[in-house]
Structure 1
Amino acid sequence: MHALISADKPKSLGVGIRPWLVLAMLSALYTFSLIDRNILVLLIGPIKAQFQINDVQIGLLVGTAFAVVYAFLGLPAGRLADRGNRKLLIAAGAIIWCLCTIASGFAGSYAILVLLRLGLAAGEAVLTPAAHSMIGDLFPPEKRSLAASLYMSAGLIGPPLAFSGGALVISSIEAAKVGGFQTDMQTWQLALFAVGVPSLAVAVLFLLTTREPQRTVEPGTPKSLVKGEVIRQIISRKRLYSGLFLACTFAGGCSYALNYWVVETLMRDFGWTAVKAGSTLGPINLVASVVGVMGAPWMTARLKARGRRDAVVLVCMGCMATAFLSLAVGPILPSATLRLALIGLGTAAALGGTTNIVVSMQEVAPARMRATFVALLFLGITLLGAGAVPVLVPMIGEISQSIGLSRGLAIVCASLSGIGLLLLWWIRDAFEREAIAGFPVVGARI
C-alpha cells in the first residue's frame, strides 16, 4: 500500500498540508496516550474495592509502576529516534500501549494490572521524543516552535478528555446496564476497553498513511550522533541545562499531582460521584491546558520580538509563581467553586511552564539531539511527577488525621512550584548569555 501522507521535509516556508496532517495524527496519538494513561483516575474506587488495596497501592499502580518503565525507556527510545525510523517506532509503541489498555479490563489480579501498566508505559515512552524529532524535520525553523506547541497542546488535552470523556463512558455503561445490557464485566473493565479501541484505530491509521521524513543535517556536523556527544553538550552548559531540566521536572510534578488526586479529593471532601467530579473537572482542565500550553509559548514569542533574549525563562518564572500562589491554597478551600477556579489557574500555569521548556528544546538542543534532550526532560518529569508524586501526596496526607489528602496535595504542589521558581531565577543570566551566543553545538565545525 502506498502511503497517503508524505512527511518529506518541506522545501520552503509554505509548508503545505501534508506535514500538518502528520502533526495532527501525532497530536491525536499523544491525546489518546494521555487518555489511556489517566482513565484509571476515575476508576480508583472500584479498583480499590475489586482488589482490596489502599491509596498508596493505587499511587504505585497509576504512578510509580508506569513511571519507572516510561522514564528509563524514554532515553533509549530517544536515542533510537535520533538514529532510526521514527514512524515505525511510534506505530509499534502505540499499538503496544493500546493493547495493554484493552487487556487491563480483563486483569484478574492487582499484580497483572501492574504488569499491564508497565506494558502501557513501555509503549508510550517512544512517542514524544520521536514526535519532537519528526516535527523538527517536518517544518522549517520559523514554524517549529508553533508546530511543537500545537503538538503539546493537543496532547495535554488528554487528561481533561479522560475526565469528561471517561465520565461520559462510565455513565453510558451504567445506563446501558440499567436498560438491560447483560455482561459479567464490571463498569471499570468496560471503560478500559472503550478507551483502548479508538487509540488502536489511530495507531493503525498512522502506520498506514505516514512516511518517515528526511532528517535535518546541521552544516559542518555529522548526520548521526558521535559517542558521548550528548554528555559533552550538557556538561558544556551544565548550569543552563540542569536548571531547565529540573525546573521542567518540578512543573510537570505539579501537573501530575493534580491529574491523579483532584478528582478523588472532590469526591471525598464534597461527596461527589466519579461522574460528577470527572465531568466538572474535565472542561476546567481542558481550558487550563489550552491556555497554559498555547499561552506560555505565545507570551515568549511576544517578549522575544521585543528583544528579551531571556523570554523563555521570564515566562516560565511567571508560570511557576502563579502555580505556587494558586496551588498553595486552592486544594484546601472549603468552597468547591473557588477550589476549582484556583486549581484551574494553577494547572494552566504548571502546564505552561512545562510546555515552554519542552518547546525551547527546538532552540537550545542541536537538531540531531532533539529527541534525546526531550527524552531527558520527560525522564525527570516522569520519575518525579508520575513516579514519586502519586505516592507522596497520600503519604503526606496520612501523616496525621489533621492533614488529609487535600492538604497533602497542596503541600506537594506548593513545594514543587516554589523550588522550580528558584531554579529558573538561578539560570536566568546563563540562559540570556547562551541565547546571545546562539546556543552553539559543542564540536561543531563552522
Structure 2
Amino acid sequence: MFIIALLLVSALYQIDRILPFILAESIKSELSLSDTQIGLMIGPAFALCNALFSLPLARAADRTSPRLVLVGCLVVWSAMTAMGGLATSFVFLAATRFGVALGEAGAIPAGHALIARKIHPDRRGFALALFSMGIPLGTMAGFAAGGVIADGLGWRAALFGAGAAGVVLSIVALLAIGPIPASGPVLASEEPFVRASRRLLSAPAFRWMALAAIGIGFASAPFYAFSAPFLIRNHGFSASQVGLAFGLLQGGMGIVGTLLGGRMFDRAVLRGSGRLLGPPALILIIASITTTLALFVPVGWVSIALLVPGMLSFAFAMPASFGAGHLLAGPGRQALASSLLLISSGLLGPTIGPLFVGVVSDWANEAGVANGLGLGLLIVPIASVLSGLALLVANGRVAAHLRRAEP
C-alpha cells in the first residue's frame, strides 16, 4: 500500500505538471495570451522556481518527516492547480503555476527519502522504479484525460478535477505511508544543507553523475517538446496519430525502462560489484545513434521506431542514477542527493534545450534549409552520448567510492 500510494502521487505529480501543455491552445484562446506568455508560464519560470525550492524542501525531508513534507507539497500543488481554473489573466495563471512548481519541488526528494527509510538497499532500486513509473503513467493519463475533459467540459474543469484529485490523494497518502523510521545518524540530519550539498558534490563520482544528469536534461527536454512537431511536419502525420503512437510508446517504454532499470540495479547491488551505471550508459549511447537516424530517415514509421530507444533510455537511467546517488550520499542525505540530481537534469536542459531547437529551426526556415527541426533536434543525440560517457566514468568512480566505504 505504501508503494502504491507513492506511485499515485508520482502519477499526479506528472499530470499536474503537463496539463498546461495539453490545455495551452484553449487557455491561450480564452485569455488572449501570446505564445511568449505561454512559453514563460510552462518553461523557464517553472523550471527556475522548481529548482529554487528543491534543495530546502529536500533538506526538510531529510531532517524532519518526509511523509509530512510529501503530503504538504501535494496539498500545495493540488490547491494551486485548482486555483489555475479561476484564472482570468496571465499574471494570475502564472502565479498559480509558480505555486505548482513550489509544491512539486519537494515531491520527488521526499518520496525518495521515504523509500530510503522504509526499503532495504537491495530492494530499493525496484521501489524507486515503481515510484518513477508514475511519470509515464501520469503522462499517458494526463494527455488522455486532460484532452477529453478539456474538449467536453473546458480547460478550467480539467484543472479543477486534477486539483480535487490531489486533495483526496493527500489524505490517502497520509494514511497509507504510515510511521517513518528515523533517518540514521543525527549528525547527517543536522549538517547545514549547503555544507552537505558541497560535501556531496565534492565526491568525484557524484560530480560525474550530476554532469550526466545535466546531459540527460538537454537530451530529454527537446526530445519531448519537439518530437511530435517533427513527425507532423516531416512525415505528414496528424496530431491524433502522433499523440496515439508517440504517447503509447512513450508510456510503455517508460514503464519497461523504470522497472527493468530498477531490477538490474538491485541485482548489481546484491552482487556487490559497485558497477551500477554501466547498463544505462550503454543504452544512452545506443539511443544517440538511433535518434540521429530517426531525424533523417524518409519513412515516418521507421522514424518513430528509431525514437523508441531514446524513450527507453531516459526512463531506464532513473532508478540506477537515484539509487547510486543514495548510496553515495548515505543515511539522512538521500533526499538531498535526489534534489541535486533533479536540479542538474531539470534546470539548464529544460530552460535552454527547447529554446535552442526553436532558434535553429527558425534560422533554417529563414535560410531555406530543409529539415530545420531535425537539425535543431541533433542536440538530443549529442547530449545523450555525452551523458552515456559521463555515466561510464561515474560507473568506475562509484565502484571505487563504495569499495573505500566498506568496513
SS of aligned partner of 1:214: coil
**Is there any run of 5+ residues in structure 1 with no aligned partner, and where?**
1-20, 177-186, 441-445
Match of 2:250 in 1: 285
Q: Distance in 1 between matches of 2:291 and 2:104?
A: 29
- Match for residue 59 of structure 1 among 39, 43, 57: 39
The percent of aligned pairs where both chains have the same amino acid is 22
Displacement, 1:304? 5.7
Match of 1:233 in 2: 199
Q: Distance in 2 between matches of 1:431 and 1:144?
A: 17
Establish whether residue 145 from structure 1 lines up as the match of residue 157 from structure 2.
no
Aligned length: 402
65-74 or 187-196, which deviates more: 187-196
- Structure 2 vs 1, CA of residues 403 and 200 (structure 1 numbering), >3 Å: closer, same or farther? farther
**Is there any run of 5+ residues in structure 2 with no aligned partner, and where?**
none
Partner AA of 2:398 in structure 1: F
- TM-score (structure 1 length as normaliser): 0.81
- Match for residue 390 of structure 1 among 354, 360, 364: 354
> 1:154-198 deviations in whole A, cap 9, x for unaligned?
334222332233344345x1xx7xxxxxxxxxx333333333332
Establish whether residue 330 from structure 1 lines up as the match of residue 297 from structure 2.
no
> 1:274-321 deviations in whole A, cap 9, x for unaligned?
5443333221111110122122233344556667432x2211221210
153-162 or 285-294, which deviates more: 153-162
> 1:6-49 deviations in whole A, cap 9, x for unaligned?
xxxxxxxxxxxxxxx12211111111110111122223433444
Q: Distance in 2 between matches of 1:330 and 1:413?
A: 11
Partner AA of 1:330 in structure 2: A
> 1:366-411 deviations in whole A, cap 9, x for unaligned?
1111111111111111102333333333223222203667325522
Q: Distance in 2 between matches of 1:266 and 1:52?
A: 26
Displacement, 1:73? 0.4
- Structure 2 vs 1, CA of residues 206 and 303 (structure 1 numbering), >3 Å: closer, same or farther? closer
Displacement, 1:64? 1.1
Establish whether residue 91 from structure 1 lines up as the match of residue 58 from structure 2.
no
39-48 or 363-372, which deviates more: 39-48
- Structure 2 vs 1, CA of residues 404 and 72 (structure 1 numbering), >3 Å: closer, same or farther? farther
Displacement, 1:70? 0.7
- Structure 2 vs 1, CA of residues 71 and 274 (structure 1 numbering), >3 Å: closer, same or farther? same
Match of 2:384 in 1: 417
C-alpha contact 1:248 1:377 (8 A) present in aligned 2? yes
- Match for residue 169 of structure 1 among 137, 140, 149: 149
Establish whether residue 372 from structure 1 lines up as the match of residue 336 from structure 2.
yes
C-alpha contact 2:136 2:250 (8 A) present in aligned 1? no
Displacement, 1:242? 0.9
- Match for residue 433 of structure 1 among 391, 400, 407: 400
Q: Distance in 2 between matches of 1:149 and 1:209?
A: 19
Displacement, 1:427? 3.4
Match of 1:100 in 2: 80
Q: Distance in 2 between matches of 1:205 and 1:124?
A: 18
- Structure 2 vs 1, CA of residues 188 and 295 (structure 1 numbering), >3 Å: closer, same or farther? same
> 1:58-79 deviations in whole A, cap 9, x for unaligned?
4332221211111110001111
- Match for residue 169 of structure 2 among 176, 199, 202: 202
C-alpha contact 2:326 2:333 (8 A) present in aligned 1? no
> 1:299-352 deviations in whole A, cap 9, x for unaligned?
344556667432x22112212102211222324544332222222221111221
C-alpha contact 2:221 2:354 (8 A) present in aligned 1? yes
- Structure 2 vs 1, CA of residues 42 and 266 (structure 1 numbering), >3 Å: closer, same or farther? farther
1:37-56 map, 5 Å: 37-50=17-30, 51-54=32-35
Q: Distance in 2 between matches of 1:92 and 1:127?
A: 9
Establish whether residue 351 from structure 1 lines up as the match of residue 315 from structure 2.
yes
Q: Distance in 2 between matches of 1:376 and 1:346?
A: 23
Partner AA of 2:118 in structure 1: L
- Structure 2 vs 1, CA of residues 108 and 409 (structure 1 numbering), >3 Å: closer, same or farther? farther
Q: Distance in 2 between matches of 1:267 and 1:105?
A: 30
243-252 or 198-207, which deviates more: 198-207
Establish whether residue 258 from structure 1 lines up as the match of residue 223 from structure 2.
yes
Q: Distance in 2 between matches of 1:78 and 1:420?
A: 25
- Structure 2 vs 1, CA of residues 71 and 354 (structure 1 numbering), >3 Å: closer, same or farther? same
SS of aligned partner of 2:211: helix
Partner AA of 1:278 in structure 2: G
Match of 1:340 in 2: 304
SS of aligned partner of 1:213: coil
Establish whether residue 249 from structure 1 lines up as the match of residue 214 from structure 2.
yes
Q: Distance in 1 between matches of 2:101 and 2:370?
A: 32
Displacement, 1:149? 1.8
Partner AA of 1:98 in structure 2: S
- Structure 2 vs 1, CA of residues 362 and 44 (structure 1 numbering), >3 Å: closer, same or farther? same
C-alpha contact 1:66 1:386 (8 A) present in aligned 2? no
Q: Distance in 2 between matches of 1:168 and 1:284?
A: 20
1:61-140 map, 5 Å: 61-140=41-120
Partner AA of 1:116 in structure 2: T
Match of 1:181 in 2: none
SS of aligned partner of 1:398: helix
C-alpha contact 1:97 1:124 (8 A) present in aligned 2? yes
Q: Distance in 1 between matches of 2:137 and 2:249?
A: 11
Q: Distance in 1 between matches of 2:133 and 2:213?
A: 16
104-113 or 328-337, which deviates more: 328-337
- Structure 2 vs 1, CA of residues 232 and 253 (structure 1 numbering), >3 Å: closer, same or farther? closer
SS of aligned partner of 1:329: helix
138-147 or 264-273, which deviates more: 264-273
